[in-house]
Each structure stands twice: as structure tokens, then as C-alpha cells.
A and B are shown apart, each in its own frame.
Chain A
């Protein structure tokens, strides 16, 4: 479903701020794979998701989504294939627009937009039932401005927007990191529900090793712009945080440095 072939990206080349963020990264996701991604700060996790989404052009390599080579497509054209939820709850929604308007915008992802009304009666009914699925009471607040929602509500809404048009690939960039633990758990539950319901091919970055083990059918670990560990199926189910830490040190040669990832 998703093929990342030997991609490279260096930021600010030729300056003092030069940073090689991706160094020949390759990864293939089968349809329905739910892959959790872990790794230390600066490992290139977010950069990988941005590369898939097409935020900037690659230096080298190829990205193929469902047999379509998207490497040279701009971000807005790739959006047809991709649903995204960002770390910052502010990023995924338009705060000054209503909940139903945000959903209507997302419902037309990948389609031609014309002079038809953005918000039809039929849409409204569909949005209500979708929001009810989240179980956050948002179905009663369709015409509220999104800016009035809490961070957790905004992330849940963004999740719905990312999946309202079934994406070929769902990219979750630490989408619960900015939330308090209880809200984070709620949003993660909603994520699992939506991913399972639609059998979505998913890449989820998390800073929490426990979550990385609990969710999904496959786990990859990144370090220094590459994938250094890829565990799936039965083997993944047996993983523990300790074992993961040990693997990390073995594969990377350095100690894992994020306390929150270990304790969280």
C-alpha cells in the first residue's frame, strides 16, 4: 500500500545548520498494517511522515502509494491519498470555522471543488452520526467554532477529518503528545476504533513505548534517519519496554535518552 524506497533529505545543505534528517530510509506497508514508530529526538520520525505527505521535495528516493508514484506530486495533490493528524491540535483544523464546515472541507478531500454549497443537509446528518461514533458529545455542537473545542476534542475531530474520505495511508504524528494522559488515552482509543473499523493502513509516531507495543500489528524503531528495527506479528505481542530498550541500545550503539518514552 505504501512503499518508501531509499529516501534522503538534508535540510539547509551547505550551511552551518545542515542536517541530514533521512539517510536512505526504506519501508513498505501492506494494506491494513498499523505500524507504530518510535525513536529518540531527531531520529527523523516526523521528517519521514512529512516526506510521505510531500511537505517539501525529496533529495533522492521514491514514494509509492497504492501503485501510484507520488514522489513529484505537491502536498495538496497527495492529500487525496493521505489522512494526517498532527502533534499540535491547532494544526489540523480551521479554528475560525464551524465543526460541520471543517468536516465538509475534509469530506471533499481529493475531489474537485466547485460552486456547489459546501455544507448540504445530507452532509449534516452524516456528520452527526460520525461525531456520535467518537462519543465526545460533539454531535450536539455541529455549528460551534472549532476554536472553542479543547485540545483533545480538536484531535478527535482532526482524526475524523483525516478518515472521513478513506485514506490510503493514515499518518499520525505524535497526535496525543500535547494532551493530558486521560485525554490522550481517549483519543488513542478513538484512533484504534476508527483504524479497525475502516481497516486503515496507518503509521503512528508515538513517544510512549507502552503505547507503541499495545497498539498496531507492527513496530518500527528509527535512529539517525533510518529504520533500525522492524518487529511484527507474534513477536511484537511478546515485546516489553525493557526488551525494546535493550534492542535500541544494541541496534544504535547509544543509550535511549527520552525519559518520557520509558516512564510514560
Chain B
């Protein structure tokens, strides 16, 4: 009984965190599924978003502007990875790792902005003193302060904007680049530009998600984005496994990413309540994602009716 009560108590928080990470998962979906690139920049750009939002809030910038600038900071992170990839000829995965590594220093400096030694590993922002959009403290309150309200409103807005964008000429050429870049070039699309653009939009959304998450937990931390790519992938894959047959429309697939992240957080809460140590959480996440990534491969290899199984 205690177990159930505890779990139920944890649910609103799990859902709220799930939605925030769900936005992050949408960013991952754009690179991983639409652009067909595994972009590891996100581990850094998630933190960049959080750090930027917190430092701006502490310096009296209003929340809307702080979120916008966080988003732009993410765009720039994506731009760097994109240029590493297209102009330096570095493989996409490695380009993302390089940006992520560089961002670690930048994130320290963002959080240390205006301080004596100019760098800080974390930064508090208390909801008592600052006006935050989403504060984790109120997640179980039955009031308008509850962050779940704002989060639920943001979901359709983000999905609607992306749905519109990917239906435009530029958005379609971005999709074509991911689907078949030979074809895209043959149709006069500058695939370097579309790849950079896709990486920028993805990281913009990821940074926005990081900005929300920092507010939610009341601080930004230089390690808050560690393993973000794995959580994002987990959400994308859970969505495909659970909703793949039902959610076929593009906007439904994006919504699926949010649901996928929520499911991920609920499952995490359950295993934590069952006694798993938080220290082992990342190991569990990595294994779960590895298995889910392997499923389509195993399926084609061992469960196809005909074919060579010895290969």
C-alpha cells in the first residue's frame, strides 16, 4: 500500500518531467528520424539552455525573453555542429561530440557570468524570489501555479509550429535530405544547408527544453544534460514501439515523442520506488535503450520467414 501511495504521489512529477524531456525528445526525433543523423550535441545544448535561462532570470530578464534567448543559444550550438559536419567534413556523430565537449566549458562560463572567477558548475534560481514559468514545487498543487498546466499548453503549440514548418518548401527539402540526400541534391537542394538547419532547429528545441527543466528543478547544473541523448532516444523508440501502429500522422508522431518521454519517466519512478538506486539509473537506461534499438534488427535477422540466418 505504501508503495502505491508513494508511486501515486510521484506521478505528477514524473508526468511533468516527462513532458519537459518530451520536448527534448522532439528535438532528437528531428535529427535522428527526419534528418537520419545521430546528434550528440544535445547533451551539451540541453545544459546550455538551462544555464542561459537561469543566468538571465537571475539578472532580471523576463521569462519570455530568457526562453527565447535560450532557444537561440541552442540554435547556435546546432550551427556549430552543422558547420563541423558540412564544412569541416567531420562525421556527424563526432561533430556532435566535439560541440558537446566544447559546450561544457561554455556552460561553466555562462553560469559564472558576472562572478569573480567567471565560471560556476551550478546556479540556483528560487521560485520564491523569481517568477518562473514552471516550478517543480507546485507540481502537486491544485492551482494555476501547477507547471503541468503550462506544459500541457506548450505541447500543441510546439507541435503545430513544427507541423507547419515541415510542410513548407524548406521543411520538405529538409525531410528529403534525410530520406535520400542524392535525390535531394538532384532536385537542387543544398543538402549542406538543410543539414545545418535541421541540427539548429533540433538543438534550439533541446535548449528550450533544458531551460524549462532548469526552472522546474530550481537550478541549472553543468551535468544536467549528461545522457540526454539516451533519454531522448528512449522516448522516441518507446513512442515507436507503443504508438507506431496508431500514430502515423506527423504531428501524432511528435506527440508520441512526448508520450514516450512521459512513459519513460513513469517507468523510472516505478523502478526507483521498487528499490533501484539512482546511481544505477543511467546503466538501466543505457541497457533499455540498447535493447529497444536492437529490436528491429533482431526482428529482421531472427524472425524473418525466409532468408539466411547464418549471416
Residue ranges of A at the interface with B (Cβ–Cβ < 8 Å): 53, 74-77, 79-80, 82, 84, 86, 90-97, 101, 104-106, 108-111, 113-119, 161-162
The 4 closest A-B pairs by CB, nearest first: A79-B188, A94-B179, A118-B172, A113-B169
- Chain A's nearest CB lies how many Å from the CB of B186? 5
A96 to B250: give the CA distance in the assembly, Å.
12
Within 8 A of A (CB), among B134-184: 165, 167-173, 175-176, 179-180, 182-184
Tell yes or no: B9 within 8 A of A by CB.
no
In the complex with contacts A97-B179, A105-B176, A92-B186 CB distance below 8 A:
yes
Are B172 and A101 in contact, CB atoms less than 8 angstroms apart? Answer: yes
Are B167 and A94 in contact, CB atoms less than 8 angstroms apart? Answer: no
User: CB-nearest residue of chain A relative to B180?
Assistant: A94
Are B169 and A92 in contact, CB atoms less than 8 angstroms apart? Answer: no
Residue ranges of B at the interface with A (Cβ–Cβ < 8 Å): 165, 167-173, 175-176, 179-180, 182-191
Chain B residues with CB under 8 A of A119:
167, 172
User: CB-nearest residue of chain A relative to B189?
Assistant: A76
- Chain B's nearest CB lies how many Å from the CB of A153? 16
Known A93-B180, A101-B175; further 9 A-B contacts with Cβ < 8 A: A76-B184, A76-B188, A94-B183, A96-B179, A97-B172, A105-B176, A114-B169, A116-B168, A118-B172
A29 to B190: give the CA distance in the assembly, Å.
28
Are A94 and B176 in contact, CB atoms less than 8 angstroms apart? Answer: yes
- Chain A's nearest CB lies how many Å from the CB of B171? 7
Are B183 and A92 in contact, CB atoms less than 8 angstroms apart? Answer: yes
Are A115 and B168 in contact, CB atoms less than 8 angstroms apart? Answer: yes
Are B182 and A117 in contact, CB atoms less than 8 angstroms apart? Answer: no
Chain B residues with CB under 8 A of A116:
168-169
User: CB-nearest residue of chain B relative to A106?
Assistant: B187
User: CB-nearest residue of chain B relative to A83?
Assistant: B186
Are B183 and A93 in contact, CB atoms less than 8 angstroms apart? Answer: yes
Q: Choose from B170, B175, B182 the contact partner of A113 (Cβ within 8 Å).
A: B170
Are A118 and B180 in contact, CB atoms less than 8 angstroms apart? Answer: no
Are B186 and A80 in contact, CB atoms less than 8 angstroms apart? Answer: no
In the complex with contacts A91-B180, A114-B170, A115-B169, A79-B187 CB distance below 8 A:
yes
Give 17 A-B contacts (CB < 8 Å), ordered by A residue.
A53-B186, A76-B184, A76-B189, A77-B188, A79-B188, A79-B189, A91-B182, A96-B179, A97-B175, A104-B172, A106-B187, A108-B169, A108-B187, A109-B187, A118-B168, A119-B167, A119-B172
Are B172 and A105 in contact, CB atoms less than 8 angstroms apart? Answer: yes
In the complex with contacts A91-B182, A105-B176, A76-B171 CB distance below 8 A:
no
Chain B residues with CB under 8 A of A90:
180
A179 to B171: give the CA distance in the assembly, Å.
33
Q: Choose from A113, A117, A161 the contact partner of B173 (Cβ within 8 Å).
A: A113
Q: Choose from B168, B175, B189, B191 the contact partner of A117 (Cβ within 8 Å).
A: B168
A91 to B165: give the CA distance in the assembly, Å.
25
- Chain A's nearest CB lies how many Å from the CB of B265? 29
Max count, chain A CB within 10 A of own CB: residue among B165, B168, B186: B186
A37 to B136: give the CA distance in the assembly, Å.
69
- Chain B's nearest CB lies how many Å from the CB of A53? 7
Chain B residues with CB under 8 A of A114:
168-170
- Chain B's nearest CB lies how many Å from the CB of A121? 13
Q: Choose from B165, B168, B175, B191 the contact partner of A94 (Cβ within 8 Å).
A: B175
User: CB-nearest residue of chain B relative to A97?
Assistant: B179
Q: Choose from B168, B172, B185 the contact partner of A75 (Cβ within 8 Å).
A: B185
In the complex with contacts A91-B180, A93-B180, A96-B179, A118-B187 CB distance below 8 A:
no
A75 to B191: give the CA distance in the assembly, Å.
10
Are A105 and B173 in contact, CB atoms less than 8 angstroms apart? Answer: yes
A110 to B191: give the CA distance in the assembly, Å.
14
Chain B residues with CB under 8 A of A86:
182
Chain B residues with CB under 8 A of A77:
188
Chain A residues with CB under 8 A of B176:
94, 97, 105
User: CB-nearest residue of chain A relative to B188?
Assistant: A79
In the complex with contacts A113-B170, A115-B170, A76-B180 CB distance below 8 A:
no
User: CB-nearest residue of chain B relative to A101?
Assistant: B172
Max count, chain A CB within 10 A of own CB: residue among B175, B180, B189, B191: B180
Chain B residues with CB under 8 A of A111:
188
Chain B residues with CB under 8 A of A162:
186
A111 to B173: give the CA distance in the assembly, Å.
12
Are A95 and B180 in contact, CB atoms less than 8 angstroms apart? Answer: yes
Q: Choose from B170, B179, B185 the contact partner of A79 (Cβ within 8 Å).
A: B185
Are A79 and B168 in contact, CB atoms less than 8 angstroms apart? Answer: no
- Chain A's nearest CB lies how many Å from the CB of B6? 44
User: CB-nearest residue of chain B relative to A114?
Assistant: B169
- Chain B's nearest CB lies how many Å from the CB of A109? 4
User: CB-nearest residue of chain A relative to B181?
Assistant: A94
A95 to B179: give the CA distance in the assembly, Å.
7
A33 to B141: give the CA distance in the assembly, Å.
76
Chain B residues with CB under 8 A of A97:
172, 175-176, 179
A76 to B184: give the CA distance in the assembly, Å.
8
A161 to B176: give the CA distance in the assembly, Å.
14
